[in-house]
Amino acid sequence: MTLQNRINAFVILGKFLNQFDTHQKDENLAALNTKFYEGFEYLILRQKAFNGWFDKESVFAAIAAISLSLTEKQLTDWMAEYDLKENQNKRVGVIMAGNIPLVGFHDFLTVVLTGNVVLAKMASDDKTLLKIIGEILVFIAPELESQIKFVEKLENFDAVIATGSNNSARYFEAYFGKYPHIIRKNRNSIAIINEKDTSEDLKPLGIDIFQYYGLGCRNVSKLYFPKGYKIDTFFEAIFEKYQTVVHHNKYANNYDYHKALYLLAGYQMLDNDFVLLKEEQTLTSPVGVLYYEFYEDVPQLEKTLSEIKNDIQCVVSSKNTPINTFAFGEAQCPTLNDYADGVDTVQFLIGL
């Protein structure tokens, strides 16, 4: 199967998935829709039964982000950056996280598109949607059946891509260290607030914080405010659109728990009734909590961030901040060549 044929299959998949964002069926996909549309839609709505965090809004958001990247131009331009060998046919085990819906799709896409065999070990919290997507791809292009395998146990593999916590990463290193591997650990994302940022500038930042309820590595977990900044401006920016986040029972349980914990411990915090702000130097904040820190000036902040760059997934800010970052609201929409942890997965696969 040629690279172009694989690209064509993913382009059709993108069109299929896009229907769930536009809520309008594509007449050119009649056969595909007849077999899969209703079942896939039902599965989307059933996700919360499998994982309490996966409400339909979160699943639709994940599907929309994927469908937008699966265009012929984007896939072709992406692969054109590499000296790709046709049909490498290496067996690549992919151990997927389950923190947000379809979080392992990019690894799945990368392995299949480069002509390798994906041995996908699904997370227990997110084990249904990608399997159906695999079935859809095989229906579109039956030749892909030999490249797409879902497994309970990894064996007979040539390389491993594993994503997990810092703790699980130690086990991955022990088990898979002798094989070519990419092992990802905990990372967090941050937002830099500029002294000129108004509440209007900050409104898109709410997406980076609250989409997927803050569970992703691309979710902002820490804010950097300029010294003397009026934090009420930030609260004003996020209040109207995101105050309902606390209606989600799992989010509310986390928010209430940490609020009680901080009150009992006598910690200082800021509260707007749906998210807590606590001044901390560390990056990883609990669900329902954002850590924050003040900085003196941009050069000092850049120095601080360079020292912890291996713990940061992405940085967001407004155009007022002279640092190369994502714009507010764009953290959850990475391009195809924006690799997790900054490790080029395609180059890794080419080198096998």
Residue 314, in any domain of the structure = yes
Q: Are residues 132 and 219 in the same domain?
A: no
Q: Are residues 178 and 193 in the same domain?
A: no
Looking at residues 175-189, what average pLDDT do you find?
Answer: 93
Could you list the residue range(s) of the whole structural domain that residue 301 is in?
A: 188-327
- The three state secondary structure string of the chain is CCHHHHHHHHHHHHHHHHHHHHCCCCHHHHHHHHHHHHHHHHHHHHHHHHCCCCCHHHHHHHHHHHHHHCCHHHHHHHHHCCCCCCCCCCEEEEECCCCCCCCCHHHHHHHHHCCCEEEEECECCECCHHHHHHHHHHHHCHHHHHHEEECCCCCCCCEEEEECCHHHHHHHHHHHCCCCEEEECCCEEEEECCCCCCHHHHCCHHHHHHHHHHCCCCCEEEEEEECCCCCHHHHHHHHHHHHHHHHCHHHHHHHHHHHHHHHHHCCCCEECCCCEEEECCCCCCCCCEEEEEEECCHHHHHHHHHHCHHHEEEEEECCCCCCCCEECCCCCCCCCCCCHHHCCHHHHHHCC
Q: Are residues 175 and 216 in the same domain?
A: no
Looking at residues 8-19, what average pLDDT do you find?
Answer: 98
Looking at residues 211-234, what average pLDDT do you find?
Answer: 96
User: How does pLDDT run across 86-129, given as a tens digit for each residue?
Assistant: 768 999 999 999 999 999 999 999 999 999 999 999 999 999 99
Q: Are residues 121 and 193 in the same domain?
A: no
Residue 47, in any domain of the structure = yes
Residue 153, in any domain of the structure = yes
**Exposure b/e, 158-174, CB count within 10 A at least 16 = b:** bbbbbbbeeebbeebee
Domain closes at, from 137, 157, 185: 185
Q: Are residues 130 and 99 in the same domain?
A: yes
Q: Are residues 32 and 135 in the same domain?
A: yes
Q: Are residues 63 and 153 in the same domain?
A: yes
Residue 48, in any domain of the structure = yes
Q: Are residues 113 and 95 in the same domain?
A: yes
Q: Are residues 173 and 205 in the same domain?
A: no
The CATH number of the domain where 37 resides is what? Answer: 3.40.605.10
Number of domains in the chain: 2
pLDDT score recorded for residue 322: 87
Domain closes at, from 143, 168, 185: 185
pTM (2 d.p.): 0.94
In the predicted model, is pLDDT for residue 82 greater than 90?
A: yes
The CATH number of the domain where 268 resides is what? Answer: 3.40.309.10
Contact, 73 vs 79, CB < 8 A? no
Lowest-confidence segment of 117-121, 173-177, 263-267, 289-293 by average pLDDT? 173-177
pLDDT score recorded for residue 317: 96
pLDDT score recorded for residue 165: 86
User: How does pLDDT run across 324-344, given as a tens digit for each residue?
Assistant: 889 999 998 899 999 998 899
Q: Are residues 176 and 246 in the same domain?
A: no
Q: Are residues 24 and 137 in the same domain?
A: yes
Residue 334, in any domain of the structure = no
Residue 337, in any domain of the structure = no
In the predicted model, is pLDDT for residue 236 greater than 90?
A: yes
Residue 251, in any domain of the structure = yes
Domain closes at, from 144, 161, 185: 185
Q: Are residues 220 and 176 in the same domain?
A: no
pLDDT score recorded for residue 79: 96
pLDDT score recorded for residue 260: 98
In the predicted model, is pLDDT for residue 167 greater than 90?
A: no
Give me the sign of the Cα torsion angle 57, 204, 14, 129. Answer: negative
